């Protein structure tokens, strides 16, 4: 167990250096969070030896845990402060929520597959990520009860930004989401809200995500 734990933390440090810092992610809070969350606990046990590989892995229900670099890229793009309240759509394994929970004050995350939502919640509670709350539901509707959010991330690709998410973003908030066709490459988009209901859109580059499936545009 001890030897295994050491090997995982070594693999984790190497991942942060070679896959994340080397590709330009520089926010120290993101690098610290990625260095501390035990990704091996968020992948199926038989795949724990591949937990730190540079690609997504299957987690059941046809879904995947996002590639480590993309989790870091999105977390950096959210420009999180320690007091921020965050909404994540697409809990999946709960890994990205745990990373966000290490950086921000509170994370609310929504997953449409009941089994994944349940597993993620028990995993996060078991690892004592007490500032992360999981809900089973359609994330294209957001999570109104805890709005407004300082930042929102969507871990699945839709054809456009669901309007409910824009509405739940507070003034000066940041929304990071892959936008584009389901079976191709999407663009990672950041929308920044100004002081009013004005949004400015930036393209952060090409990515590939599983589809966002819900009532909103998908
Ligand atoms: N952040 C996750 C990535 C999971 S992949 C992780 O670190 O593991 C994206 C997830 O989004 C999948 O689990 C999928 O079921 C979920 N999803 C897709 N459409 C959704 C929707 N409308 N509402 C909530 N979750 C959704």
CA distance 201 to 73: 17
Q: Which residues contact 98 (CB under 8 A, 6 or more apart)?
A: 37, 42, 124, 127, 129, 132
User: Residue whose CA is closest, atom 17 of ligand 1?
Assistant: 90
- Show the domain range for 114: 54-207
What atom in ligand 1 is closest to the CA of residue 116? 13
What atom in ligand 1 is closest to the CA of residue 96? 7
pLDDT one-digit tens code per residue, 108-147: 999 999 999 999 999 999 999 999 999 999 999 999 999 9
Kindly indicate the confidence band of residue 86, based on its pLDDT and cuts at 50, 70 and 90: very high
Give percent above pLDDT 70 in the chain.
Answer: 98
User: Taking 80 as the threshold, does the pLDDT of residue 87 lie above it?
Assistant: yes
pLDDT one-digit tens code per residue, 158-202: 999 999 999 999 999 999 999 999 888 999 999 999 999 999 999
What is residue 136's predicted lDDT score, i.e. its pLDDT?
A: 98
Using CA atoms, how far residue 77 sits from 37, 176, 208, in Å, is 19, 7, 17
What atom in ligand 1 is closest to the CA of residue 71? 7
Using CA atoms, how far residue 165 sits from 79, 136, 153, 180, 213, in Å, is 17, 17, 10, 17, 15
Phi, psi dihedral angles at 204 (to 5 degrees):
-100, 0
Name the nearest CA neighbour of 169 among 187, 143, 188.
143
The total number of structural domains that make up the chain? 1
Task: Find the 3 Cα to ligand 1 centroid distance in Å.
Answer: 33
User: Taking 70 as the threshold, does the pLDDT of residue 107 lie above it?
Assistant: yes
Q: What per-residue string of b and e applies to 183-192 under the rule 16 or more CB within 10 Å gives b?
A: eeebbbbbbe
Task: Find the 114 Cα to ligand 1 centroid distance in Å.
Answer: 11
| Matching residue, tokens 């046809």 | 62
Helix (H, G, I), strand (E, B) or coil at 77: helix
Q: Is residue 14 part of a domain?
A: no
List ligand 1's pocket residues with C-beta within 6 A.
63-66, 89-90, 92-93, 95-96, 110-113, 116, 138-140, 155-156, 210, 212-214
CATH code of 101's domain: 3.40.50.150
User: Taking 90 as the threshold, does the pLDDT of residue 90 lie above it?
Assistant: yes
CA distance 38 to 42: 8
């Amino acid at each position: 167990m001890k030897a295994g734990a050491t090997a995982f933390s070594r693999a984790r440090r190497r991942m942060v250096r070679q896959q994340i810092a080397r590709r330009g992610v520089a926010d120290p809070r993101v690098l610290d969070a990625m260095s501390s969350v035990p990704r091996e606990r968020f992948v199926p046990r038989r795949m724990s030896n591949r937990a730190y590989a540079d690609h997504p892995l299957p987690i059941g229900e046809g879904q995947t845990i996002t590639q480590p670099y993309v989790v870091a890229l999105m977390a950096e793009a959210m420009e999180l402060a320690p007091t921020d309240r965050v909404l994540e759509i697409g809990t999946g394994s709960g890994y990205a929520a745990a990373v966000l929970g290490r950086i921000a004050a509170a994370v609310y995350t929504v997953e449409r597959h009941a089994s994944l939502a349940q597993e993620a919640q028990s995993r996060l509670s078991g690892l004592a990520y007490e500032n992360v709350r999981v809900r089973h539901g359609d994330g294209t509707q957001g999570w109104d009860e805890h709005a407004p959010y300082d930042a929102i991330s969507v871990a699945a690709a839709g054809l456009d930004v669901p309007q409910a998410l824009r509405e739940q973003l507070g003034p000066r908030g940041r929304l990071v989401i892959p936008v584009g066709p389901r079976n191709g490459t999407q663009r990672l988009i950041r929308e920044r809200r100004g002081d009013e209901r004005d949004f400015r859109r930036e393209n952060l580059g090409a990515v590939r995500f599983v589809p966002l499936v819900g009532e909103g545009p998908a």
